[in-house]
Amino acid sequence: MLRLCLSALLSHWRRHPLQGISILTGLWLATALWTGVQALNDQARADYARANALLAGAAQTQLVARQGERFAQSAYVQLRRAGWPVSPVLEGRLRFAGREPVSVRLLGIEPLSLPADSSVAGQSTQGFDLLHFLTPPGQAWVAPDTLQRLGLKPGDQPTSADGQRLPPLAVQAQLAPGVMIVDIGQAQRLLQAPEQLSRLLLPNDFARTLPALPDNLRTQLQLQPAADNDDLQHLTESFHLNLSALGLLAFLVGLFIVHAAIGLALEQRRGLLRTLRACGVSLRALIGALALELGLFALIAGLAGVLSGYLLASLLLGDVAASLRGLYGAQVAGHLSLSPQWWLAGLGISLLGAALAGLNSLLRSAQLPLLALAQAQAWRQAQALWLRRQSALAIVLLLIAAACWRWGDSLPSAFALLASLLPAAALVLPALLDAALALLSRLCSTPLSQWFIADSRQQLPALALALMALLLALAASVGVGSMTEGFRQTFLGWLDQRLSAELYITPRDTRQGLAMRRWLDEQPGVEAVLPQWRLELRLQGLPVQLQGMLDHDSYRQHWPLLEQQPDAWASLASGKGLMLSEQLARRLKLHLGERLALPTTPPSPALPVVALYADYGNPRGQLLLNDELLRRLWPGATLSSLNVRLPAEHVPALKAQLQSRYRLDSTRLVDQGTLKRWSVEVFERTFAATAALNSLTLSVAGVALFISLLTLGQSRLGQLAPLWALGVTRRQLAWLSLGQTLMLAGLTVLLAMPLGILLAWCLVAVVNVQAFGWRLPLHVFPMQLAHLALLGLFTSLLAAAWPLWQLARRQPADLLRQFADER
């Protein structure tokens, strides 16, 4: 029975292939966008996990220096000879010069002492090719992706920017991207840190029964317990949430298509369903057949969707990886390697989508009365009821949105705000359009214009879903576009102010930095040398960058402050105040004037926060204090960079002198223009993937509109034929239809603008604050809005063109049939 039933049902698609294609397309697009985004997230998360598993991650209990970043190797030997099964690691950044300078995270490991249960690059420590790794020339392990980024091949022995020759490169597929692993001895040579170590790893079982450190080491080293959560995972969470939200939006837009097409197919098969029931097919068999049919669609579309999702993700991955590098310093591979679970999940989401979109139709089929009503329900009443219901639902959602805005203070609540606001706007759209049309109809006096408006209102239910999709996609474009553009302007303005020095120097180490500073002070033309002392530590579990600031007018004039107390710079200079980056202040929940105690030994008095400043793009919280205070409290602070002020015409000469005197390559000696260019490039790539996803969503909405218009085409004939008979030409009718579509789309576009601006406000004032810790001013860009509005109209025009072309080409016979056939 099921088979017979199914074959009867499936015969429908032979007669209406377009509906079948609609359902497949909708599911396909929805699945593709969603799985694509998930692929990006999965890849990134897998890479964080690989990076975290790299012995140096937070997952392992470690001994680290109390002061500064490194300590003497003798501590390792001493501890080993005291029976501590520690293993040494030296970590640093290794730079490579080039047109676009690249740096990798270099990890020096000692394979013989690694805890037996640890693994490096997916190999257990017992399975190493020790002979090649340890004996000259040694090996440098890199992931295939990193090798590609460096433009090198296995076996190459490149030279670092500091002039050190690397061991031959060897590919380790399991290695985290952006990481290079060498023997510890090689690392000390490459990083020019002889007999220096960054950390000592402790096997987990030993860490549990930890004996006390020897006295002489207690002042040098401190224990850093294994932390469950990974900073990177935590920091990038918001980014991935953003991606997921975009993916979800696209998924929903795709489901609109499916829902519309399935609903239409059911509507047209009402008669068939009744006949089947009347012939003795049980309700259960009928519903089973319908569900099976739906499952078949989901399976086919799901397969295509997952494949396209993979393709999409591989196209976007480069940009996403660049974003993550730029925003968080997170390394993500440029190629995908996905688990089988991902593929299965993709098929699952397709099935789920089909179920969601088809549930309503299945329920309606189940409740279909066996005996048909003589007359279909009057469309006008039905439409009014439908509009009322949707509006009621929209109001409920708006209330939820308002509650989220008023009482929410977390990222999920910010997204809940968006998740209720957007559907509410979508649901209220048909009612708004209907009202707008009712208003317009009063202005119409000619019969055709009256018909034009009246008929548009009648089309509304059929086009509503597609228009909603257009509204959402366009509003998302406007919102994300305004946010991005606003961020760009704020960021560029901030960068202009912040990058006030003419030359930025990164010394190899503090000693070289001090020497350079003395030398620079004596150079003619140099107006100021501003040293930046840095120290990384954790405040309330958060990684924080402490920066020592010299008291100098340059900062007072150029360092942009968001909020400040009177004489903020003077307090900072006298060591009586701290300045916090906006995101750090938010994370620590500190306000201007409140006090913060720094984790010094012995404890030092808490200092007031005298100013907050913007520090866009820095994943870590930053804290400014007087440089002498910093070095007094932490003698191990490093001189991380020297900012040199001098007249612009002296820059090239001084640069050349520095290059030859200190053998500084382009990564360590950067002028203002280059630094700005790099920053802007990073910024641009950061939002490239977002923009791409956005325009894809918009095209999905276009497809939704296209399919709706196409499916509408047949029933439109019944409306158009009488007009034709009454003396309106076919061409006129086609133009009128196009006008109707454009009017509806235009009104939708018009409504999308304020919604998009509202969305932009949510993004900058709520989501960004929760996700990144900074609040941006809301900018509205009329040109951008106009551009997007035209894009929306153009999308609608494209979507309308084909169905109308079909309509205009209708043979008279098709129209005449409307007068002869059964209704």
Partner 1 sequence: MNAKPVLILLALLLASCDPPAPPSTGFAGLGQQAGEFAQVERGHGLQFPADHGAHDGFRIEWWYVTANLTDSDGRSWGAQWTLFRSALRPGGEQQGWESPNVWMGHAALSGPFGHQYSETLARGGIGQAGVAVSPFHAWIDDWTLRSLGGDGLQQLEMHATGKDFNYRLQLRSDRPLVLHGDQGYSEKSGQGQASYYYSQPFYQVSGEIERAGQRFSVTGQAWLDREWSSQPLAAGQSGWDWFSLHLDSGAKLMLFQVRQENAAPYRAGTWIAADGQATPLKPEQITLTPLAWTRLANGRRVPTHWRVALSQPTLTVEIQALLPQAWMGTRFPYWEGPVRISGDSNGRGYLEMTGYAP
Partner 2 sequence: MLTIQNLYKSFPTAQGPLPVLRGVDLQLPPATSLALMGESGSGKSTLLHLIAGLEQPDQGSILIDGQPLHSRSETERARWRRENIGLVFQQYNLISSLDTASNLSFQARLANRHDRTWSTYLAERLCLAPLLQRFPEQLSGGQQQRLAIGRALAARPALVLADEPTGSLDETSSEIVLELFLQLVHEAGSSLLMVTHSTHLATRLNRRLQLHLGRLLPGDA
Interaction site with partner 1 (CB under 8 A):
73, 76-77, 80-83, 85, 110, 112-113, 123, 126-132, 134-136, 183-186, 188, 194-195
- Shortest CB 365 distance to partner 2, Å: 24
Structure tokens at 779: 């900018």
CA 229 to chain centre: 20
Give the x/- contact pattern for partner 2 in 535-574, rule: CB under 8 A: ----------------------------------------
C-alpha distances in angstroms, 273 versus 10, 48, 485, 545? 12, 53, 53, 69
Amino acid identity of residue 690, one-letter, is: T
- Part of the chain binding partner 2 (CB under 8 A), chosen from 9-17, 384-392, 511-519, 725-733: 725-733
82 binds, among partner 1, partner 2, none (CB under 5 to 8 A by kind): partner 1
- Shortest CB 64 distance to partner 1, Å: 20
Does the footprint of partner 2 cover residue 735 (CB under 8 A)? Answer: no
Nearest by Cα to 246 from 417, 418, 398, 482: 418
CA distance 68 to 511: 13
**Contacts of residue 666, Cβ cutoff 8 Å, sequence gap at least 6:** 97, 101, 161
490 binds, among partner 2, partner 1, none (CB under 5 to 8 A by kind): none
C-alpha distances in angstroms, 125 versus 55, 144, 208? 11, 21, 21
* Cα-Cα end-to-end distance for the chain: 31
SS (H, E, C) 548-596: EECCCHHHHHHCCEEEECCCHHHHHHCCCCEEEEHHHHHHHCCCCCCEE
184 binds, among partner 1, partner 2, none (CB under 5 to 8 A by kind): partner 1
Size of the site for partner 2 (CB under 8 A): 34
CA distance 416 to 712: 34
Nearer to partner 2 (CB atom), residue 600 or residue 729: 729
Nearest by Cα to 75 from 215, 204, 225: 215
Does the footprint of partner 2 cover residue 722 (CB under 8 A)? Answer: yes
Which position among 665, 719, 746, 801 is part of the footprint of partner 2 (CB under 8 A)? 719
Does the footprint of partner 2 cover residue 372 (CB under 8 A)? Answer: no
- Shortest CB 57 distance to partner 1, Å: 23
- Shortest CB 710 distance to partner 2, Å: 21
Which position among 145, 183, 455, 671 is part of the footprint of partner 2 (CB under 8 A)? 455
Structure tokens at 135: 């004996």
- Shortest CB 130 distance to partner 1, Å: 5
- Part of the chain binding partner 2 (CB under 8 A), chosen from 643-651, 655-663, 678-686, 807-815: 807-815
In DSSP terms, 103 is beta-bridged to: 95
Contact 696, 475 (CB under 8 A): no
Nearer to partner 2 (CB atom), residue 566 or residue 727: 727
Does the footprint of partner 2 cover residue 384 (CB under 8 A)? Answer: no
Does the footprint of partner 2 cover residue 726 (CB under 8 A)? Answer: yes
183 binds, among partner 2, partner 1, none (CB under 5 to 8 A by kind): partner 1
Nearer to partner 1 (CB atom), residue 89 or residue 285: 89
CA distance 487 to 482: 8
Does the footprint of partner 2 cover residue 233 (CB under 8 A)? Answer: no
CA distance 74 to 80: 10
Which position among 395, 448, 653, 750 is part of the footprint of partner 2 (CB under 8 A)? 448
Which position among 219, 450, 497, 574 is part of the footprint of partner 2 (CB under 8 A)? 450
CA 321 to chain centre: 10
Does the footprint of partner 2 cover residue 439 (CB under 8 A)? Answer: no
Does the footprint of partner 2 cover residue 730 (CB under 8 A)? Answer: yes
Secondary structure (3-state) at 759: helix
CA distance 273 to 278: 8
Structure tokens at 376: 């279909």
- Shortest CB 207 distance to partner 1, Å: 15
- Shortest CB 126 distance to partner 1, Å: 6
Does the footprint of partner 2 cover residue 725 (CB under 8 A)? Answer: yes
Amino acid identity of residue 239, one-letter, is: F
Nearer to partner 2 (CB atom), residue 36 or residue 430: 430
Contact 757, 482 (CB under 8 A): yes
CA distance 768 to 483: 9
Q: What residue spans of 210-282 are helical by DSSP H?
A: 215-218, 231-278
Structure tokens at 28: 């396909």
Nearer to partner 1 (CB atom), residue 165 or residue 817: 165
Taking the CA of residue 242 as centre, how many other CA atoms within 13 Å lie in the half-sphere pointing to its CB? 28
Contact 59, 288 (CB under 8 A): no
113 binds, among partner 2, partner 1, none (CB under 5 to 8 A by kind): partner 1
**Contacts of residue 219, Cβ cutoff 8 Å, sequence gap at least 6:** 66
Does the footprint of partner 2 cover residue 724 (CB under 8 A)? Answer: yes
- Shortest CB 250 distance to partner 2, Å: 34
Amino acid identity of residue 345, one-letter, is: A
- Shortest CB 816 distance to partner 2, Å: 6
**Contacts of residue 352, Cβ cutoff 8 Å, sequence gap at least 6:** none
**Contacts of residue 256, Cβ cutoff 8 Å, sequence gap at least 6:** 26, 465, 466, 468, 469, 704
- Shortest CB 814 distance to partner 2, Å: 12
Structure tokens at 317: 């991955």
Does the footprint of partner 2 cover residue 447 (CB under 8 A)? Answer: yes
Nearest by Cα to 606 from 623, 583, 618: 623
188 binds, among partner 1, partner 2, none (CB under 5 to 8 A by kind): partner 1
- Shortest CB 449 distance to partner 2, Å: 11
Does the footprint of partner 2 cover residue 721 (CB under 8 A)? Answer: yes
813 binds, among partner 2, partner 1, none (CB under 5 to 8 A by kind): partner 2
Does the footprint of partner 2 cover residue 458 (CB under 8 A)? Answer: yes
- Shortest CB 117 distance to partner 1, Å: 13
Nearer to partner 1 (CB atom), residue 90 or residue 720: 90
What is the per-residue DSSP string for 322-371? HHHHHHH-----SS----HHHHHHHHHHHHHHHHHHHHHHHHHHHH--SS
Nearer to partner 1 (CB atom), residue 72 or residue 226: 72
Nearer to partner 2 (CB atom), residue 307 or residue 808: 808
Q: For strand 123-124 and strand 199-201, is the pairing parallel, antiparallel, or unpaired? A: unpaired
DSSP conformation class of 159: B
In DSSP terms, 141 is beta-bridged to: 170, 181
Nearer to partner 2 (CB atom), residue 100 or residue 821: 821
- Shortest CB 690 distance to partner 1, Å: 43
Residue with tokens 């382009």: 666
- Shortest CB 204 distance to partner 1, Å: 14
446 binds, among partner 2, partner 1, none (CB under 5 to 8 A by kind): partner 2
Which position among 50, 457, 655, 810 is part of the footprint of partner 2 (CB under 8 A)? 457
Nearer to partner 1 (CB atom), residue 114 or residue 763: 114
Nearer to partner 1 (CB atom), residue 113 or residue 174: 113
- Part of the chain binding partner 2 (CB under 8 A), chosen from 100-108, 158-166, 273-281, 440-448: 440-448
Contacting residues toward partner 2, per CB under 8 A: 375, 378-380, 446-448, 450-451, 454-455, 457-458, 719, 721-732, 812-813, 815-816, 818-820, 823
